[in-house]
Chains A and B, each alone.
Chain A
Amino acid sequence: MHTVVLTKGVPDFREGVVSFDEDGHLERGNTPTTMNPNDEHALRAALQTRVRHGGQVDVMSMGPPGYKDVLREAMESVYADDLYLVSDKQFAAADTWATAITLATAIQHRGEPDLVFAGFKTADGETGHTGPQTCWCLDVPIITHVVALDVDQEEERVRAKRLVEGDVSEIETVEAPMPAFIVADPEFEPSYRTARDRLERKRLRADARDRAETAEEHVTMWDHSELNLDPDYVGLDGSPTIVSSVDPIPKAPSEREATVVDPDDADGMSAVVDELAPFAGGD
Chain B
Amino acid sequence: MTDAEQFEAVVVGAGPGGAAAAAVLANNGIETLVLERGVEAGSKNVSGGLIYAEQSAAYTVDDLFPEFREGASERPVTRNHMDNIAGETVHTVDLKGVHEHDTEWCDSVLRRPMDAWLAERVHEMTAETGGGLLTDVRVNGLLWDDGEIVGVTCDELDPIRADLVVAADGVNSELARAAGLMDWDEPDEWFQGVKAVVDVEPDVIDERFGIDEDEGVARLFGGDLFDGVRGGGFLYTNRDSLSIGTVFHLDSLADERAEPHELLDNLLTHPHLGQWLPDEYEEREYSAKLVPDSKKVAHGSPHRDRLLLVGDAAGQMQAQGPIIKGMNHAVNAGGLAAEAYVEAKSRNAPHRAGERYETKLREEGVMDKLRPTRYELSRPLSESGVVTGALDGLARSAVGRFGVRAVGGLTERVFNSPFALGMLPDTHTSYVTVPTILAEELGEPVTSENDADPPTLEERIGELTYDTDVGNPHIELRDNSYEASGVAVTACPVSADGFGGGCYREETVKSNGSEERVVSLDTQPCVECGTCAVVADTTWTHPRGGKGVEYDQG
Binding site for B on A (CB under 8 A): 193-196, 198-199, 202-203
- CB-defined contacts of B12 to chain A, threshold 8 Å: none
Residue B160, interface by CB 8 Å = yes
- Per-position binary interface string of chain B over residues 146-159, scored 1 when its CB falls under 8 Å from any chain A CB and 0 otherwise: 00000000001110
Residue B197, interface by CB 8 Å = no
Given contacts A195-B5, A195-B7, A198-B134, contact A203 B157 (CB under 8 A): no
Residue B315, interface by CB 8 Å = no
- CB-defined contacts of B131 to chain A, threshold 8 Å: 199
| CB-based nearest B residue for A197 | B157
A101 vs B123: C-alpha distance when bound (angstroms):
46
Select one of B5, B7, B134, B157 contacting A202, CB under 8 A: B134
- CB-defined contacts of B160 to chain A, threshold 8 Å: 195
- CB-defined contacts of B134 to chain A, threshold 8 Å: 195, 198-199, 202
Select one of A193, A194, A198, A203 contacting B127, CB under 8 A: A203
| CB-based nearest A residue for B33 | A195
A202 vs B7: C-alpha distance when bound (angstroms):
17
A195 vs B158: C-alpha distance when bound (angstroms):
8
A selection of 9 A-B contacts at a CB cut-off of 8 Å is A193-B156, A193-B157, A194-B5, A194-B157, A198-B134, A198-B157, A199-B131, A202-B123, A203-B127
A193 vs B131: C-alpha distance when bound (angstroms):
16
- CB-defined contacts of B132 to chain A, threshold 8 Å: 195, 199, 202-203
- CB-defined contacts of A196 to chain B, threshold 8 Å: 5
Known: A202-B123, A202-B132. 10 other contacts (CB 8 A): A193-B156, A194-B5, A194-B157, A195-B160, A198-B134, A198-B157, A199-B127, A199-B132, A199-B134, A202-B134
A95 vs B5: C-alpha distance when bound (angstroms):
48
A196 vs B157: C-alpha distance when bound (angstroms):
10
- CB-defined contacts of B5 to chain A, threshold 8 Å: 194-196
Q: Considering residues A193, A194, A196, A202, which has the most beta carbons from chain B within 10 angstroms of its beta carbon?
A: A196
Cβ of B123 to closest chain A Cβ, rounded Å:
8
- Per-position binary interface string of chain B over residues 140-182, scored 1 when its CB falls under 8 Å from any chain A CB and 0 otherwise: 0000000000000000111010000000000000000000000
Binding site for A on B (CB under 8 A): 5, 7, 33, 35, 123, 127, 131-132, 134, 137, 156-158, 160
- CB-defined contacts of A195 to chain B, threshold 8 Å: 5, 7, 33, 35, 132, 134, 137, 157, 160
Select one of B35, B123, B158 contacting A194, CB under 8 A: B158
Cβ of B387 to closest chain A Cβ, rounded Å:
54
A193 vs B2: C-alpha distance when bound (angstroms):
15
| CB-based nearest A residue for B7 | A195
- CB-defined contacts of B137 to chain A, threshold 8 Å: 195, 198
A194 vs B154: C-alpha distance when bound (angstroms):
10
- CB-defined contacts of B7 to chain A, threshold 8 Å: 195
A195 vs B160: C-alpha distance when bound (angstroms):
8
| CB-based nearest A residue for B156 | A193
A193 vs B160: C-alpha distance when bound (angstroms):
11
A103 vs B314: C-alpha distance when bound (angstroms):
61
| CB-based nearest B residue for A201 | B134
A188 vs B134: C-alpha distance when bound (angstroms):
24
- CB-defined contacts of A198 to chain B, threshold 8 Å: 134, 137, 157
A194 vs B7: C-alpha distance when bound (angstroms):
11
A203 vs B7: C-alpha distance when bound (angstroms):
18
Cβ of A127 to closest chain B Cβ, rounded Å:
38
A193 vs B154: C-alpha distance when bound (angstroms):
10
| CB-based nearest A residue for B10 | A195
- CB-defined contacts of A203 to chain B, threshold 8 Å: 127, 132
A199 vs B136: C-alpha distance when bound (angstroms):
12
A139 vs B132: C-alpha distance when bound (angstroms):
42
- CB-defined contacts of A193 to chain B, threshold 8 Å: 156-158
A3 vs B33: C-alpha distance when bound (angstroms):
29
- CB-defined contacts of B158 to chain A, threshold 8 Å: 193-194
- CB-defined contacts of A202 to chain B, threshold 8 Å: 123, 132, 134
Cβ of B119 to closest chain A Cβ, rounded Å:
12
A23 vs B127: C-alpha distance when bound (angstroms):
58
A193 vs B127: C-alpha distance when bound (angstroms):
19
Q: Which 6 A-B pairs have the closest CB atoms?
A: A199-B132, A193-B158, A198-B134, A194-B5, A195-B33, A195-B157
Q: Considering residues A193, A195, A202, which has the most beta carbons from chain B within 10 angstroms of its beta carbon?
A: A195
A194 vs B123: C-alpha distance when bound (angstroms):
17
A122 vs B127: C-alpha distance when bound (angstroms):
40
- CB-defined contacts of B156 to chain A, threshold 8 Å: 193
A88 vs B123: C-alpha distance when bound (angstroms):
45
Cβ of A274 to closest chain B Cβ, rounded Å:
34
A122 vs B158: C-alpha distance when bound (angstroms):
36
A140 vs B35: C-alpha distance when bound (angstroms):
42
A203 vs B123: C-alpha distance when bound (angstroms):
10
A199 vs B157: C-alpha distance when bound (angstroms):
12
Q: Considering residues B7, B35, B127, B132, which has the most beta carbons from chain A within 10 angstroms of its beta carbon?
A: B132
Cβ of B435 to closest chain A Cβ, rounded Å:
50
